[in-house]
Amino acid sequence: MSSQPYDLSRDLSSLVPVHALRVLEALERAGAEAWIVGGWVRDALRGCPAHDVDITTSARWQEVERILHACDIEVHETGTAHGTLTAAIEGKPIEVTTYRIEGTYSDHRHPDEVRFVRDVREDLARRDFTINAMAFHPARGLLDPFGGRDDLVRGVIRAVGDPGGRFGEDALRVLRALRFAARLGFAIEGRTQKALRTHASGLRSIASERIGQELSGIVMSGRLAWALMAQTEVMCEAIPELRACVGFEQHSPYHAYDVFEHTARVCRAVEEFTGGLASAELRWAAMMHDIAKPQTFTRDESGRGHFFGHPRRGADVTQGVLRRLALPKELVASVVALIRLHDHPLSPTERSVSRMLLALERACPGHARELAFSLIDLKRADAVSKTVTAASYAIELDRMSELLRRRVARGVCCRVSDLAVGGADVMRELGAAPGPLVGAVLADLLAQVVDGRLPNEREVLLDAIRTKSKTRSKRSLGLPEDQP
């Protein structure tokens, strides 16, 4: 439950953005009733009002359009079937929607019909949770027919009306409940909790990209561990691939927990190691890093469990899951790279650091440096979520992290463009034209620099190219390469 002290006497009128006031006043001067609703009201009561404002009104959308045009306010028809227009003032959007109620949701996603009404209370009654079912007007104050303000103070997510009815209408509300609880640090009220578990299977009828959007909010809340352990059934409906991990014993001297609990503990640990500022790719990788362990499980003659190849297989599974959820391609590539390398042995040596950076650069060009720190955080979180003996590896990773910082501070060579020589140098020294040979020479030089066989110094690398040039000339003459 939240311990956030909310000031119920706070005057919200001074917080309303000027562009929203202009739309509100235009509608009411024309004889319509209008209120600010939704997230802005909720967050303003919490002391953190947003710039995005939604307005609901008794006027039909055609009237709204006419009224706003008459006041020289730009209007876009963005959802007239549901009574919604978007006003724009100096580039700032304000959604304006007619009071409405909704019919049954036969597909558990969209109302079969929308009916416009004249009473704002009817409109608020169709909303999902009490904290989202409040309206505010600068003159009339707060309208809160379902106790949303009290639930904010108590730190509770509670459905409006019958919870089963709310989740039965739109199953995505199951994940929305988790997202709000995770983001705000709230508890979920008992009847609402029972109903969301009952209706979690409805997520199977929801478009994957909509599930991805809600999951992203849960992941970025920093409370992913809570979501996994307290809302296991819901999370496994959202990502069915997680279900096999639940209760899957590892039979390993290095592990104290089943795969699922270990995963949740890794998610909690990455938040602790990053001070709650973990990147999106690190958070997703923490949740998915062991996703393929049940698929790769074997036991040897002594009964000890093994998961050979689970990082590679897990990377493949994760790529499929994140693509299905329509997450950004760059994020998917980074998460996949972290999972593929999360079990790769690292040591606090220059060579090990360089090889790690090179592998990450090849997987995600231009992002090796930040991903290297995320990989160390993931491996550290993984270590401390095993047995006490295995957790000692985290100390070695601390030394690895310090070495990486020093390397980054003085400049890291992990891509061809970091070399002290370039393609023009190779062509000049070899007398070669642009082509695959130039790239091959640069790639070979990079490999030697990464392995510590050559320093990244211009004259040294030029000498190495000249040596190649001599070797190439001898080969063309059919002479032994060691003949002077």
pLDDT digits 0-9 by tens, 9-33: 467 888 899 999 999 999 999 999 9
Q: Alpha helix (H) ranges present in 12-116?
A: 18-29, 39-45, 61-70
**CATH 1.10.3210 matches 242-414:** yes
Give pLDDT tens digits for 321-377: 999 999 999 999 999 999 999 998 888 887 888 888 888 988 888 888 889 999 999
Q: What is the DSSP letter of 159?
A: B
Average pLDDT of the residues in 53-71: 95
Residue 106 clears pLDDT 50, i.e. is over it = yes
* CB atoms closer than 10 angstroms to residue 255: 19
Q: Where are the alpha helices (DSSP H) in 292-367?
A: 293-296, 310-324, 329-341, 350-363
Domain map (residue ranges) of the chain = 13-154, 159-238, 242-414, 416-477
**pLDDT over 50 (residue 259):** yes
Class of domain 159-238: mainly alpha
- For residue 429, the model assigns a pLDDT of 83
Percent of the chain with pLDDT over 90: 64
Tell me if 424 sits within 8 A of 440, measured CB to CB: no
Residue 484: is its pLDDT beyond 80? no
CB within 8 Å of 203: residues ≥ 6 apart: 171, 172, 174, 175, 211, 234, 237, 238
- Are 227 and 178 spatial neighbours (Cβ–Cβ below 8 Å)? yes
Confidence at residue 252, expressed as pLDDT on a 0 to 100 scale: 92
Q: Which of 326, 334, 336, 333 is nearest to 212 (CA)?
A: 326
* Rounded distance between C-alpha atoms, residue 101 and residue 115, angstroms: 5
Residues 135-156 have a mean pLDDT of: 95
**What is the CB neighbour count within 10 angstroms for residue 253?**
12
416-477, which class in CATH? mainly alpha
pLDDT of 301 > 60? The answer is yes
Ranked by mean pLDDT, the top range of 28-32, 89-93, 251-255 is 28-32
β-pairing, 74-79 with 84-89? antiparallel
Q: Which of 91-100, 107-116, 211-220 has the lowest mean pLDDT?
A: 107-116
Which strand (E) or helix (H) includes residue 374?
A: helix 368-384
**What's the confidence (pLDDT) of residue 346?**
84
Q: Is the pLDDT of residue 145 over 90?
A: yes
pLDDT, position 48: 84
Contacts of 237 (CB under 8 A, 6+ apart): 174, 200, 201, 203, 204
Distance between CA atoms of 153 and 143, rounded to whole angstroms?
A: 16
- Work out the average pLDDT over 69-76: 94
DSSP symbols for 229-295: HHSHHHHHHHSGGGGGGTT-----TT-SS-HHHHHHHHHHHHHHHTTT---HHHHHHHHHTTTTHHH
CA-based nearest residue to 284, from 323, 231, 244: 323
| Ramachandran area for residue 148 (φ above 0: left; ψ -120 to 50: alpha; else beta) | alpha
> Is 242-414 in the same CATH topology as 159-238?
no
Q: Tell me which residue has tokens 């994760």.
A: 318
Query: What band does 109 get if pLDDT is binned at 50, 70 and 90?
Result: low
The confidence band for 3, taking pLDDT boundaries of 50, 70 and 90, is very low
Beta bridge partners of 156: 187
Q: What is the CATH number of domain 13-154?
A: 3.30.460.10
